[in-house]
Structure formats: C-alpha cells, structure tokens
Structure 1
C-alpha cells in the first residue's frame, strides 16, 4: 500500500489525496465518513480532498445526501493523465531547449552530480561517447553490474578494461569482450589526496566511500562515491585529478592479472 501511495504522490497527488483515492477504490463507493475512516484522512480534511479528486476526474459524485463518491476506472484515468504529462513534457523540453540554445557555456573542468538517475545518465553517456577506450576500477561492484550491458556493447567497438578487487564477485561473461582484471586489495592505492580535493566543498570535507572510478579516452574521469546523504559523481576533464587518476589506473593495471 505504501508503494502505491508513493507512486501516486510522484504523479502529483498529495498524501491525503493518494490515501483517499485508494480508500475510494477499496470501498467501490463511499461517503465522506466512510472514506475518512478507511483512509485515516482527518474528517475535517476529507471533504476538500475528495472535491479536489473530483475536479481532477479521479472520482465522480452521486446526487445523494450525504454525498457519495465513486472512483473512476484507474486504467482510463491514469492513461489520460500520462498522455497529458507526456504532452506537457514535450512542450517543456522544446521550450527549454530553445531557451538554452542561446545560453553562454562556461568551461568548468569539474562538475558534481547527485542522485542515481542523473549519475546513471551521465555515466552511460560517457561510455557511449568514448571514442577509443574506457578504463574502470571497481571497488564495490554495484555500479559495475548496473552498467554491465552497456560496457559489453561498448566492448564490441572500442577497448574496455575493467579492474576489480580479488574476491568481489564473478563478473566473467557479463562484460562482453571487455578485458577483466583482478588486483589484490593491498596493491590498490587510489590517489586519495586528489580525490579528496575534488570532493571538497566550500566549508567542509565530505565523508565518502569511493565505489568506482572510470576514465574515458584518458581525457574525462568520473569518481562515483557513496555518502551519508546518498550517491555523488565527480566529473573531471583536463585537471590534475585526471593526470593522477590516469597514473593510478596504469599502475593498478600493471599489478593486476587476468581474472580466472
């Protein structure tokens, strides 16, 4: 039930609207009192909530006393809602692209990305746009497994090298033609001072756990980390961070061996 409430809220309902709508579906039809009792929405708020659902076409109301509400067919209602959202999305994207096409682009060599969706989008974009090679060191393999299909596809067209720590999982066969190497954890030394510098905020240092480092064409690097507040990616291009990450990559590959 909580998952449905969460999804309804993502589609624009308030928590009370989501609970009241679900209660109406459960009841088939019901009065304000019945819907309030079923949904645990306070009676003092239930009328306004149901009237908003009525305005949005999620429910219909009978000409009775007391008023009785009935849920409209969920498939039909949400089908129309998604159509409207897709039209709005297309118009928003078109408008923003037109506005953004004239914006001044600044050459900032280091960018921070937060949130799994945004991180995934950027990493996959980097993998697909790499011209010559992709090199990855994976400390924890959650990200690596998530991008395995994309790396396998990339390995058909360009060099892909993946280094994992010994004993962290069986990835043989998941990465296509990518070269899969294993390294002893004791021989892996990430360039902590330079990573720390990239992760530094204006007034404090973040507590983080580096999960994966990727370099594309020896030009652009990304450091993926897990923090108390979630996930973070640091994208760097043409900085001292990239230089030391490339050196670390080369040294780690020299110490690594083909995975059995």
Structure 2
C-alpha cells in the first residue's frame, strides 16, 4: 500500500487524497466513516478531501445521510493524472527554456540549441525580433512547413527574402508576402567552395557528417543556422557581428543575382 500511495503522489495527488482514493477503490464505496477506517485519514478531513476529489472527477458522491462516496474507474483517474503531469512537464520545459534563451541572449554571442521545440522557439524569437528585414536560406524542403507560418507572419510587417536553391518544388504552404528566389552562380569561388561544398552538400569533419538545413538572418544582427549532425537536428544562434554581417553579405549577394519566382500565395491568385 505504501508504494501505491507514493506512486499516486508522484502523479500529483496529496498523501491524504491518495489514501482516500485508494481506500475507496479497495472497499468499492463507503461513507466517511468507512473511508476513515480504511485510509487512516482523520475523519474531519475525509469530507473536504472527498469533495475535492469529486470536483476533479475522481469520485462521485451519492448525497444522503450519510453521503456515500464511489471511486471513478482507476484507469480513467490515472490517465487524467498522467495527462496533467505531462502537460505540467511540457510547460515547465518551455518556461525554463524561455528563461535560458533570455539569459543566453544577454550573456553569450554564440550558443547551441538542441531539441525540436527549442529550435522552433529560437526561430520564432529571431523572427519576432526583426526590425528591418529577414532572410532565409532553405535547403531542406521536406521541413519547410514547420517554418511557413513563421515566415508568413514576419512578411506581414517586414520584407522577407527566401532563397530556394531547388525552386519552390515541395513547398505546399503559403509563405505570405515573402519574396522567393532561386540563386544563380555569381562567383566561381563562392559557387564551388562555399555554396556547393558547404551549403548544398554534407560535410565530414572528425568522423561526423554535417548537413545544412536552414539559415535565418534577422537584419544583420542575429543568425540562426539549423543543421543535422549524424542525422540529429541541432542549431546554433549567433549574435557576434563579425559573423552575422559576413553571413548577411553572402546572402545579400546571392539574392541580388538570384531569379525571383512567385510565392505559393501569388500562384493561387493573390496580388
């Protein structure tokens, strides 16, 4: 019984709640006196504990003299407790990650990001912080949908340029007012040594394989690079101006020489 009470407490019940509910499951149904005798919870407390459990949908009460308390099916209660615990854990991770993001953005010009939620959170933060314009280099179309809304939202208030080396093939979600571009060769050295070798192909370094997916550049202040290392998705966020300005110049040069194509929204009859 002690292990059961501890497990119920781990799922979010207080000790008295766990004892009252477990006692009811054990006796099937009963009055406050029966619950007190089975649970060892002080009888005056049984009433308010039972009312609280009823309010949460964990027991039902047949009103009378005396009241009779009946437990809801344990599988239903455990599912509810587990869902609530999972939601609380997710909210806690998000809150802590947001605090971490704020702290790192103040204290470090370069930081690494792991986990899908964290990557999306950082990309959203970058897009919301745009003051002039946003540039995006998209090299993995299988994932563009996850950032389509971010790009479309940013394009409502600021110019957004998206470089698509393979054209708009594979893009099924509108990208708002963003201008879409297919890059063209403009410099042999850049084309062969940077674009084709680093941007568009896997890089092998010290036994690991790196593959670039996205580059986001907000103004020329923040650069976020999303990549895969041996198949695992990561990102690096850079605010060091020596790097962000150089990256932005590369992208600006690519945009200047690129062929502009219609975005999906315009292709469907938009202005």
Q: Judge conservation of contact 1:110–1:234 (CA < 8 Å) in 2.
A: yes
Inter-CA distance 228–53: structure 2 relative to 1 (3 Å threshold): farther
Q: Judge conservation of contact 2:148–2:173 (CA < 8 Å) in 1.
A: no
| In the alignment, structure 1 residue 247 sits paired with structure 2 residue 249 | yes
For structure 2, the 5+ residue unaligned runs are 12-21, 29-71, 200-204, 263-271
Deviations 1:5-39 (A, max 9, x none): xxxxxxxxxxxxxxxxxxxxxxxxxxxxxxxxxxx
| In the alignment, structure 1 residue 234 sits paired with structure 2 residue 236 | yes
Inter-CA distance 180–89: structure 2 relative to 1 (3 Å threshold): closer
TM-superposed deviation, 1:204:
5.4
For structure 1, the 5+ residue unaligned runs are 1-49, 64-70, 197-202
| In the alignment, structure 1 residue 77 sits paired with structure 2 residue 78 | yes
Q: Which residue of 1 aligns with 2:121?
A: 121
Distance in 2 (alpha carbons) for counterparts of 1:91 and 1:213: 28
Q: Which residue of 2 aligns with 1:29?
A: none
Distance in 1 (alpha carbons) for counterparts of 2:140 and 2:89: 39
Equivalences for 1:71-220 in 2 at 5 Å? 72-83=73-84, 107-167=107-167, 169-171=169-171, 174-184=174-184, 189=191, 191=194, 206-220=208-222
Q: Judge conservation of contact 1:209–1:225 (CA < 8 Å) in 2.
A: yes
- Mean Cα deviation higher: 182-191 or 108-117: 182-191
Inter-CA distance 235–89: structure 2 relative to 1 (3 Å threshold): closer
Distance in 1 (alpha carbons) for counterparts of 2:208 and 2:180: 31
Distance in 2 (alpha carbons) for counterparts of 1:53 and 1:216: 53
- Mean Cα deviation higher: 82-91 or 211-220: 82-91
Distance in 1 (alpha carbons) for counterparts of 2:138 and 2:154: 17
SS at match of 1:176: coil
Distance in 2 (alpha carbons) for counterparts of 1:104 and 1:151: 24
How many residues matched?
A: 193
Q: Judge conservation of contact 2:186–2:254 (CA < 8 Å) in 1.
A: no
TM-superposed deviation, 1:241:
2.0
In the superposition, the TM-score normalised over structure 2's length comes to 0.56
Q: Judge conservation of contact 1:54–1:61 (CA < 8 Å) in 2.
A: no
Q: Give the aligned CA root-mean-square deviation in angstroms.
A: 4.3
Q: Judge conservation of contact 1:128–1:154 (CA < 8 Å) in 2.
A: yes
Q: Judge conservation of contact 1:213–1:221 (CA < 8 Å) in 2.
A: yes
Q: Judge conservation of contact 1:160–1:178 (CA < 8 Å) in 2.
A: yes
Deviations 1:44-66 (A, max 9, x none): xxxxxx98567535996699xxx
TM-superposed deviation, 1:89:
7.7
